[in-house]
Every structure is written in structure tokens, then in C-alpha cells.
């Protein structure tokens, strides 16, 4: 059974930083890409970024590139989203996702991932 358990997030001031974690279990990691999406109230789910388990290659949305960083933990079953220089428009519920690397969906920001975390609220005040 695949599970993605998220932690972190919360409240930050504009210009501040937060880190989200996503612990994955029940997947063959080398066959999956991991990604982060976010959804603000009244808006569609938006691609944030993705990372390959096997290569560590990453891809980011233009809105977060150079501010957010996705990485894997030493245990390699944990993915992090380090968010810096936060802006009020980053306020959203953030979701981690796991998807077959063969599908390549996360690399084009397709939200049709196989598995999702429970979501974590991030609120950035101005």
C-alpha cells in the first residue's frame, strides 16, 4: 500500500522560509518521480516542481524557480520542498505526489499523479 505522509508548513512572513517533508512508503522508488503541487482557494491545483528518484533531476514552475528547491533525504524515502523568499501568493495547500516515471506526467505538470499526500497548509503574510 502506497502512502505519502506530509509534514511541515504553517505560517511565515513574506520573505521568510518554510520546509515541507513527504515520506513515501510502499513504492519502488527507482520507478517513481515525486512532485509537489499546490492549490489556493478557488483555484485549480498548480504544479510546483518535481524530482526523479533515479537521477535527482528536477523541474520547477516558473513562479517558484530560484526560490523553491526539491531534494531527497539521505534515507531516500523522503522528499523535501524548501521554500525561500516566500510571497503572499505562495499561500495554498501543498500536496506531494508520486507517479510512475514511465508516464512522465509530473515533468509536464500534469496533476494526474498516481498517489497523493494529505496536503499541508502554507500561509504567507504580507
DSSP string spanning 46-72? Answer: EEEEEEETTT--EEE-TTTTTTEEEEE
Average pLDDT over residues 36-55: 94
User: 90 or 104: whose pLDDT is higher?
Assistant: 90
| pLDDT of the residue at 47 | 97
Out of 17-21, 76-80, 82-86, 96-100, pick the least confident: 76-80
Do the beta carbons of residue 22 and residue 3 sit within 8 Å? no
Residues above pLDDT 70, as percent of the chain: 98
**Whether pLDDT at 14 is above 90:** yes
Listed residue (40, 62, 48) closest to 97, CA to CA: 48
Average pLDDT over residues 92-111: 92
Interatomic CA distance for residues 60 and 107, integer angstroms? 9
Joined together, the cell numbers standing for residue 87 give 510571497
Do the beta carbons of residue 48 and residue 37 sit within 8 Å? yes
Joined together, the cell numbers standing for residue 71 give 531534494
pLDDT range class, residue 54, cuts 50, 70, 90: confident
pLDDT range class, residue 69, cuts 50, 70, 90: very high
Do the beta carbons of residue 124 and residue 14 sit within 8 Å? yes
Amino acid at each position: 500500500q502506497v502512502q505519502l505522509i506530509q509534514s511541515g508548513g504553517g505560517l511565515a512572513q513574506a520573505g521568510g522560509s518554510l520546509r515541507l517533508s513527504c515520506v513515501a512508503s510502499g513504492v519502488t522508488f527507482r520507478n517513481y518521480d515525486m512532485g509537489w503541487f499546490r492549490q489556493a482557494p478557488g483555484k485549480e491545483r498548480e504544479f510546483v516542481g518535481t524530482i526523479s528518484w533515479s537521477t535527482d533531476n528536477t523541474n520547477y514552475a516558473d513562479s517558484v524557480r530560484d526560490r523553491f528547491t526539491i531534494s531527497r533525504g539521505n534515507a531516500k524515502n523522503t522528499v523535501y520542498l524548501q521554500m525561500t523568499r516566500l510571497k503572499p501568493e505562495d499561500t495554498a495547500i501543498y500536496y506531494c505526489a508520486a507517479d510512475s516515471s514511465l508516464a512522465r506526467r509530473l515533468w509536464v505538470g500534469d496533476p494526474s499523479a498516481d498517489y497523493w499526500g494529505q496536503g499541508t497548509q502554507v500561509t504567507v503574510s504580507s
